[in-house]
Amino acid sequence: MEKEIVLVTGGCGYIGSHTVLDLWENNFDIISVDNFSNSSPLSKNLVENIAGKKLINYNIDLTNFKDVEKIFEENKICSIIHFAAFKSVPESIDNALMYYDNNLIGLINLLKLTEKYNVNNFVFSSSCSVYGDVNDLPVKESSILGHQKSPYGKTKRMGEEIINDVAANSKSNFIMLRYFNPVGAHKSGKIGELPLNKPCNLFPLVTGVGYGRFEKLTVFGDKLNTRDGTCIRDFIHVSDIAHAHTLALKKMIESKSNTICETINLGTGKGVTILETIKAFEEIANIKLNVEIGEYREGDVVAIYSDNQKALNFLGWKPQFELKEMMHTAWEWEKVKDELGN
C-alpha cells in the first residue's frame, strides 16, 4: 500500500525544520519542499542528525506550477503544511511585488493541486500581522481585522481569504494558524534560527549582540503608547508552534464526517515589551547589551498579543515555554552556531 505523505513547504526553514522533527516524533511520513531562497541547507543536515533519518527535499520554486506538480505525480500527498513564504516586513515594504508574487502564487499553485489530487488536509502558516493595529487586546480570531501595515501582512490576509473561498466548495480540511512571534531553539540545542542575512527579528538580534556578532541593538521607538514606550509582542517558542501543526493535522485526520475550515491564534496570551524582553535576556546571559533607541519603524504594529483559548479548546494545545526559557534556548543556540561555521 502506498504511503500517505505530509508535504511540508519551507521544511528546511526555521519553523518548518522544527515542525518536521515534531511530525517525525509523531510517526508522520514527510517530504519537504525548500529552494533555500530564505533558509540554509545546513538546517536539513541538522534535522537529519537529530532524527537519525533522511529528509527528502525537492529543491524547487513553488511559483513554478509544473515543477510543483511533479511532487504530486511522484507521491501520494495526503496533507500539506504550507510555510514557504517571504517574511520580512521591511523587505516587503521595499519590494512589494516580490512578496505578492512569491507568497500568493505559491499558495494558489498548492491549492490548485490540493483540488486536483484530492489532498485531504491543508495547514496554512498565517500571522498575527493580519490584525494590524487594534484597540482591543488581546486579539481573538473573531476580532475585526485592522489595516495590515506591510505587504507581508497583506499577503497573509489575502492568503486566508483565498483559502476561505476555496474551502467553501472543497472537500478538503483547512486550518489557518496565526502565529504571533516565533522565537527560541530546539531543546536539543542542535537546531535553531539560521537567517541567511542579518536578521530582522528581535531574538536573533538580541543574542547576536550578546555574542558579539553585531555591535549594537536598535530599539525602534520608545515614545509609543505602551507601558515603557516600546512595542509590545507575544513571543511564542518555535517548538510550541511546531507541535500545534501536528495537533492540527491530527484534528483534521480524526474529523471523518465534518469538513473543517478554522482560523486559530498561536501565542502565549502575554504581551511583553521590547525593553522587557531585552532585560530578560540580560538576566539570563548576565550580559549588558549595547542598546540604541532609534526612530519608530514603518510597518511595525505598536502592540499585539493573543487570546489563545481557541487553540486550547479546539486543538488541545497549550504553550510549554515561558519567556526566560525561550531566551535560554535562543542563547544556547547562539553559542553553538560558530561550531557549525555560521
Q: Give the span between the Cα atoms of 214 and 235, in whole angstroms.
A: 22
Cell of 300: 511595525
pLDDT of residue 3: 67
**What are the residues whose beta carbons fall under 8 Å from the beta carbon of 36, sequence distance 6 or more?**
12, 59
What confidence tens digit (pLDDT) does each residue in 14-39 have? 999 999 999 999 999 999 999 999 88
The upper half-sphere exposure of residue 140, i.e. CA atoms within 13 Å in the direction of its Cβ, equals: 6
CB-CB contact of 43 with 12 (8 Å): yes
pTM: 0.94
Q: Give the span between the Cα atoms of 45 and 6, in whole angstroms.
A: 19
Q: Give the span between the Cα atoms of 171 and 156, in whole angstroms.
A: 23
* Residue of 14, 58, 131, 152 marked catalytic: 152
CB-CB contact of 271 with 227 (8 Å): no
152 in catalytic set: yes
Instruction: Please report the domains of the chain, with CATH numbers, ordered by start residue.
Output: 5-183+235-267 (3.40.50.720)
What confidence tens digit (pLDDT) does each residue in 251-268 have? 999 987 678 999 999 999
